């Protein structure tokens, strides 16, 4: 499976992961080579086979829906680079003209 | 020479008053300080760890280390990634909490491939971990720091995580015992997610008995992990001396994926012969779909990773880059925060899940996973456990595969089938090839950790590896 430069840019956009120009060509070649190898799965007859999305032995279990102490917002926010009034602070998401 | 006994001996001697838990911790910390510059096994550690007064519980103050993707309250957890630089865990995950409750003493976090993505511990922001047997070689990965730390006697117990072999392969490369229990046996709460349907926490120890002791404390259901299993936890230590007489064990049938070089083939044959001499009967087992494990695994694991790693936006964790808008901030944080292999895997997984390709890649891989599970179900109708080499070769050189991702992926072929099926699996050191250790894996039925320990202990009795490791690493021992 040849990953073209155009397709790679689409994947970068879906993944929210833009590559630097100097990373792109080697990564494009790596992905193409890896996917070529994975073409071996096309040899298998998978008609009627159910996919395994997990290997859990049982249904997930649920804990009792009862209030219990949490870690609190102060500790939960402690790993963030910028906080304000108990919230994560982000750059403006509304344009200047809309502010006016 | 300062003493640094293994886990069981440490516990016994602390309990009998023959050795103080603090003295043992001090010896371990001195060892870390003396050797870490050479091996880079620890990412960071607590220089004050010996001060606390801990000596009660089943682990009696014996020291342990966590891989750097396991949360423990108040400690750095960075997954060896720039994107989590400086991040302190706000709570303890299930595994760390259980060891702390059992009275173990936390020393620090071990080096790893970034977000556990790699097989060599070279893709780390801390630089590569060196193999204690030969510092020009890889300690394996992604739990390479944990394996090197245990092999070099920095600590008697280190936890690792195994998504596709990341406990077993470094255990084999460093000549220690690595065990991945059944998927769901150890809580994944507080484990930084890579591929949620595959991730499993387990142990690296000097011998099988030490693993049995640690796993008895680690396994069990946790309300904070809905996939953790409620089934009764078997007593593992009684299994150590039961032997394998009268049991049947599977060996993989000759096939193209089982082609080994002469050295590894000889070591594996020795393992099979040892089990036969111990009274077990080998049965050749066909696993017709196991050869497709690399393709199935790398499509499923990267697809899950692409989703799990979407949370790293630079807002909630880790340092933040400069940007004008929220979108630019998100892109800058991810583009500058992730390393090359993590980027490769996020992009591969995103492709495998994308419209137009999801049927041909991700869904095919999931169906192949079903076929591999069915192969095992059939195999375990005939045998009690299976054996297979852990790796096709002994530890490779640093730099040998790091620029060739496909070759790195292909080297995982023998550990991946058990991961895809969620089976309990162990790697036990079973011989040397040109002076480097090789491991043999045991695979057992789902939930049958008792059989896993029983068979692993029998193999270990045939190859008492502790003396070999100690003699080979004597130059390291003299260093501290």
The DSSP line for B215-241 is HHHH-S--TT-TTS--SPPPP-GGGGG
Nearest by CB: B226 against A19, A44, A62: A62
CA–CA gap between residue A1 and residue A11 (Å, rounded): 14
- Helix axis angle for B21-39 and B7-15, nearest 10°, is 150
| Peptide bond connecting B142 to the previous residue in cis, omega within 30 degrees of 0 | yes
Burial of B42-64, coded b for 16+ CB within 10 Å and e otherwise, reads: bbbbbeebbeeebbebebbbbbb
pLDDT of residue A100: 40
- Catalytic site positions of B: 67, 142, 166
Pairing of strands B248-252, B281-285: parallel
Whether the per-residue pLDDT at B1 is higher than 70: the answer is no
Residue B244: closest CA among B467, B442, B446, B8: B442
The residue among B348, B360, B410, B411 with the most chain A CBs within 10 A of its CB, best to mutate, is B348
Residues of B in contact with A60 (CB under 8 A): 226-227
- Flag the least confident range among A53-62, B183-192, B224-233, B390-399: A53-62
When pLDDT is averaged across residues B72-95 and rounded to a whole number, the result is 97
Whether the per-residue pLDDT at A98 is higher than 60: the answer is no
Domain B7-290+387-478, CATH class in plain words: alpha beta
- Residue A95 confidence class, pLDDT cut points 50, 70, 90: low
pLDDT of residue A60: 76
Chain A residue at shortest CA distance from B422: A55
Check: CB of residue B64 under 8 Å from CB of residue B204. no
Domain boundaries, chain A: 5-43
Radius of gyration of chain A (CA): 23
pLDDT tens, residue by residue, B102-160: 999 999 999 999 999 999 999 999 999 999 999 999 999 999 999 999 999 999 999 99
The residue among A4, A12, A38 with the most chain B CBs within 10 A of its CB, best to mutate, is A38
Q: Would you give the distance in Å from CA A88 to the centre of its chain? A: 20
Whether the per-residue pLDDT at A99 is higher than 70: the answer is no
Could you give the count of Cα atoms lying within 13 Å of B79 in the half-sphere of its Cβ? 26
CA–CA gap between residue B88 and residue B318 (Å, rounded): 9
Q: How many CB atoms are located within 10 Å of the residue B406 CB?
A: 17
CA–CA gap between residue B461 and residue B208 (Å, rounded): 10
Q: Would you give the distance in Å from CA B43 to the centre of its chain? A: 16
CB of B296 within 8 Å of a chain A CB? The answer is yes
Residues of A in contact with B333 (CB under 8 A): none
Radius of gyration of chain B (CA): 21
Q: Pull the structure tokens for residue A52.
A: 């395994």
- pTM equals 0.97
Mean residue pLDDT across chain B: 96
pLDDT tens, residue by residue, B300-323: 999 999 999 999 998 888 888 888
pLDDT tens, residue by residue, A3-46: 999 999 999 999 999 999 999 999 999 999 999 999 999 999 99
CA distance B174 to chain A (A): 28
CA distance A41 to chain B (A): 7
What's the 3-state SS for chain A?
CCCCHHHHHHHHHHCCCCCCHHHHHHHHHHHHHHHHHHHHHHHCCCCCCCCCCCCCCCCCCCCCCCCCCCCHHHHHCCCCCCEECCEECCCCCCCHHHHC
- Residue A97 confidence class, pLDDT cut points 50, 70, 90: low
CB pairs under 8 A, 24+ apart, for B406-411? Answer: B406/A30, B406/A33, B406/A34, B406/A37, B408/B118, B408/B119, B408/B120, B409/A34, B409/B119, B409/B294, B409/B298, B410/A37, B410/B294, B411/B119, B411/B169
CB of B360 within 8 Å of a chain A CB? The answer is yes
ipTM of the shown complex: 0.93
pLDDT of residue B139: 98
CB of B326 within 8 Å of a chain A CB? The answer is yes
CB of B85 within 8 Å of a chain A CB? The answer is no
Nearest by CB: B184 against A52, A56, A91: A56
- 3-class DSSP state for residue B403? coil
Question: How many residues make up chain B in this entry?
Answer: 480
Domain boundaries, chain B: 7-290+387-478, 293-366
pLDDT tens, residue by residue, B11-68: 999 999 999 999 999 999 999 999 999 999 999 999 999 999 898 999 999 999 999 9
Whether the per-residue pLDDT at A65 is higher than 60: the answer is yes
CA–CA gap between residue B112 and residue B147 (Å, rounded): 10
Residue B160: closest CA among B98, B216, B203, B113: B203
Question: How many residues make up chain A in this entry?
Answer: 100
CB contact under 8 A, B90 and A33: no
Which element (helix H / strand E) includes B461?
helix B449-462
- 3-class DSSP state for residue B111? coil
The DSSP line for B167-184 is THHHHHHHTSEEEE-STT
CA–CA gap between residue B100 and residue B217 (Å, rounded): 10
CA–CA gap between residue B61 and residue A29 (Å, rounded): 51
Residue listed under structure tokens 């008697």: B156
CB contact under 8 A, A46 and B368: yes
Residues of A in contact with B328 (CB under 8 A): 91
When pLDDT is averaged across residues A70-78 and rounded to a whole number, the result is 90
Cα torsion A56, A58, A63, A64 to 10°: value is 160
pLDDT of residue B174: 98
When pLDDT is averaged across residues B239-246 and rounded to a whole number, the result is 98
Check: CB of residue B105 under 8 Å from CB of residue B359. no
Whether the per-residue pLDDT at B386 is higher than 50: the answer is yes
């Amino acid at each position: 499976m040849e990953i073209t430069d155009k397709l790679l840019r689409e994947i970068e956009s879906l993944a929210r992961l833009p590559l630097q120009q100097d990373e792109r060509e080697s990564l494009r070649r790596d992905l193409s080579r890896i996917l070529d190898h994975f073409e071996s799965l096309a040899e298998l007859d998978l008609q009627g086979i159910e996919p395994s999305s997990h290997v859990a032995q049982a249904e997930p279990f649920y804990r009792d829906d009862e209030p219990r102490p949490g870690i609190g917002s102060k500790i939960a926010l402690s790993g963030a680079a910028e906080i304000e009034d108990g919230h994560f602070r982000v750059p403006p998401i509304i344009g200047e003209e809309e502010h006016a | 020479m300062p003493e640094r006994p293994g886990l069981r001996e440490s516990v016994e001697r602390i309990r009998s008053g023959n050795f103080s838990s603090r003295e043992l911790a001090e010896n371990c910390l001195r060892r870390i300080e003396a050797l870490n510059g050479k091996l880079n096994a620890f990412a960071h550690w607590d220089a004050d760890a010996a001060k606390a007064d801990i000596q009660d519980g089943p682990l009696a103050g014996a020291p342990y280390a966590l891989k750097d993707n396991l949360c423990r309250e108040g400690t750095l957890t960075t997954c060896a990634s720039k994107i989590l630089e400086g991040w302190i865990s706000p709570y303890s995950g299930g595994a760390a909490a259980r060891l702390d409750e059992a009275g173990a003493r936390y020393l620090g976090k071990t080096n790893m491939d970034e977000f556990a993505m790699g097989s060599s511990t070279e893709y780390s922001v801390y630089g590569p971990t060196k193999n204690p047997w030969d510092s020009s070689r890889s300690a394996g990965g992604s739990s390479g720091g944990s394996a090197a730390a245990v092999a070099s006697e920095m600590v008697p117990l280190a936890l690792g995580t195994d998504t596709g072999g990341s406990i077993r392969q470094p255990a084999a490369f460093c000549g220690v015992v690595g065990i991945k229990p059944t998927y769901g046996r150890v809580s994944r709460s507080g484990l930084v997610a890579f591929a949620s349907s595959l991730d499993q926490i387990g142990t690296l120890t000097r011998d099988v008995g030490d693993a049995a002791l640690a796993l008895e404390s680690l396994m069990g259901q946790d309300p904070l992990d809905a996939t953790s299993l409620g089934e009764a936890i078997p007593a593992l230590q009684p299994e150590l001396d039961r032997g394998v007489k009268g049991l049947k064990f599977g060996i993989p049938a000759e096939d193209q994926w089982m082609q080994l070089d002469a050295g590894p083939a000889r070591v594996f044959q020795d393992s099979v012969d040892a089990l036969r001499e111990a009274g077990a009967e080998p049965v050749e087992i066909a696993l017709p779909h196991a050869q497709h494990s690399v393709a199935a695994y790398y499509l499923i694991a990267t697809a899950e990773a692409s989703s799990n790693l979407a949370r790293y936006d630079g807002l909630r964790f880790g340092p933040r880059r400069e940007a004008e808008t929220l979108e630019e901030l998100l892109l800058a944080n991810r583009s500058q925060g992730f390393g090359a292999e993590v980027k490769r895997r996020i992009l591969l997984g995103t492709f495998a899940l994308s419209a137009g390709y999801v049927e041909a890649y991700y869904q095919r891989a999931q169906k192949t996973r079903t076929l591999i599970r069915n192969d095992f179900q059939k195999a375990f109708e005939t045998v009690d456990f299976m054996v297979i080499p852990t790796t096709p070769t002994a530890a490779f050189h640093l730099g040998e595969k790091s620029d060739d991702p496909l070759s790195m992926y292909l080297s995982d072929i023998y550990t991946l089938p058990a991961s895809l099926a969620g089976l309990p699996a162990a790697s036990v050191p079973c011989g040397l090839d040109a002076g480097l250790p090789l491991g043999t894996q045991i695979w057992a039925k789902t939930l049958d950790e008792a059989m896993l320990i029983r068979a692993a202990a029998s193999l270990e009795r045939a190859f008492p590896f502790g003396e070999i490791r100690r003699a080979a690493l004597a130059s390291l021992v003299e260093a501290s």
